[in-house]
Amino acid sequence: KFSHLGDVEEQTWDEVVLGCETAVLVAFWAPWCGPCRLMHPIIADLAKAYAGRLRCLRVNTDENQEVASRYGIRSIPTILIFKDGERKETVIGAIADTALAATVDRFL
């Protein structure tokens, strides 16, 4: 459904997120979270628009609590943006596609 959205887990985190050559957007979500589900198509569209320049991934916090706690995720949806293995930005809550794009633009 969201073909441009990959899933990342604890085991693959360091390689897929921290080792990525491009900027990485990671959405922390859970299946029971309504606002999270609203964000999926927005992030998928962003992934398509920035293909090759931005990797978009999501983390199911129910299944990957270690990653969530490592980054202090207390509420979802939370979006983290990484560049060169470092967390650059944190966006908490559901936000408009234009606002998310503007945030991402700063790191490309």
What average pLDDT score do residues 45-62 get? 95
Q: Which CATH number fits domain 6-96: 3.40.980.10, 3.40.50.2300, 3.40.30.10, 3.40.190.10?
A: 3.40.30.10
Q: Could you tell me the pLDDT band of residue 4, with boundaries at 50, 70 and 90?
A: low
Active site residue ranges: 33, 36
Q: What is the pLDDT of residue 98?
A: 95
Residue type, 43: I
Q: What is the pLDDT of residue 63?
A: 96
Q: Could you tell me the pLDDT band of residue 1, with boundaries at 50, 70 and 90?
A: very low
Tell whether the model's pLDDT for residue 77 goes beyond 60: yes
Alpha-carbon separation of residue 16 from 40, 58, 66, 71 (angstroms): 19, 11, 16, 16
Domain boundaries, the chain: 6-96
Tell whether the model's pLDDT for residue 42 goes beyond 90: yes
